[in-house]
Amino acid sequence: MQLEGNIGFLGYGNMGAAILEGLIEAGMLTGKHAVIFDPAELRQQAAERVGANVADSPAALAAQCDTLVLAVKPQIMTDAIEGFGGQSKMPQRVISIAAGISIRSLQERLGEHVHIVRVMPNTPALVSAGAAGIALGPNCDDSDAAVARAMFESIGLAVMVPEKDIDAVTALSGSGPAYFFRMVECLVKAAVAEGLDAATAAKLAGQTLLGAGKLLQTSGESAAVLRERVTSKGGTTEAALRSFDEDGLEAMVRAAVSAAAARSRELGG
């Protein structure tokens, strides 16, 4: 799918860059049809390297694009939106990737005529292996859905969800990469305590994470079935998993996801 018109990015940090570079690599967009605004000179230079245009203000950005991606942190969204200079200057379609900020809140700030799509992506989008949940605003149409899906499928997996589920998506896949990175940190430390050198432990842990993810994605089997296949009765894996159960791993994960979802709701005010 070739995207029509210009795509604008308010903010061009890691996620904004991942989206734009994914679109360009997938042949869905050329740099000349992308416009960014970011006050950081290094981010402007990064955009220029992929052929994108750099606007000198949020208002100039909004005036040049047909689809606008809000790629700033939720804590600065209010100030960033004020730079647009009024609701009448907004493009018809706005896609927000800011955690916690509701479609209703954005609608009130940007105007009822704007079609707002709320998306929660994650950082593996940087290597075209992202996972994104997409929620459509009440006035969005099939074209909005198609554009949003195409954009985020260019950098990984994209699923359509009702907005009420976005906080759960945030807690699961939005924050999820950090959970696995933390697990790898713990595994490396544990292996070093057992006598393995840190570099070897890190290499093996990273590959194990990659392999487990690939197997889960491609086998067609559930995580539970794959776990059972690795777990021989009376073996080493069973001993490790029993320790997890005794220490309450499932309860810890549930509490962590609940805390992340609660924080997502707080960010939305």
**Residues 205-258: tens digit of each pLDDT:** 999 999 999 999 999 999 999 999 999 999 999 999 999 999 999 999 999 999
Residues 116 and 193 in one domain: no
Share of the chain above pLDDT 90, in %: 82
- Over 80: is that where the pLDDT of 88 sits? no
- Over 90: is that where the pLDDT of 136 sits? yes
Residues 130 and 224 in one domain: no
Tens digits of residue pLDDT in 182-197: 999 999 999 999 999 9
Report residue 90 as tokens.
């907004």
Residues 15 and 77 in one domain: yes
Treating both helix axes as pointing N-terminal to C-terminal, what angle do 198-219 and 176-193 enclose, rounded to 10 degrees?
Answer: 140
The answer as to whether 2 is a domain residue is: no
Task: Residue 139: give its domain's CATH number.
Answer: 3.40.50.720
Residues 67 and 115 in one domain: yes
pLDDT at 87: 64
The answer as to whether 1 is a domain residue is: no
Number of domains in the chain: 2
Q: Which of 97-106, 113-122, 244-253 has the lowest mean pLDDT?
A: 97-106
Task: Residue 225: give its domain's CATH number.
Answer: 1.10.3730.10
pLDDT at 116: 97
Which residue segment(s) compose the domain that 208 sits in? Answer: 176-267
Picking from 141, 166, 191, the residue at the C-terminal end of a domain is 166
- Over 80: is that where the pLDDT of 41 sits? yes
Residues 96 and 201 in one domain: no
Residues 261 and 208 in one domain: yes
The answer as to whether 171 is a domain residue is: no
Share of the chain above pLDDT 70, in %: 99
Residues 128 and 180 in one domain: no
Picking from 98, 131, 166, the residue at the C-terminal end of a domain is 166
Picking from 112, 143, 166, the residue at the C-terminal end of a domain is 166
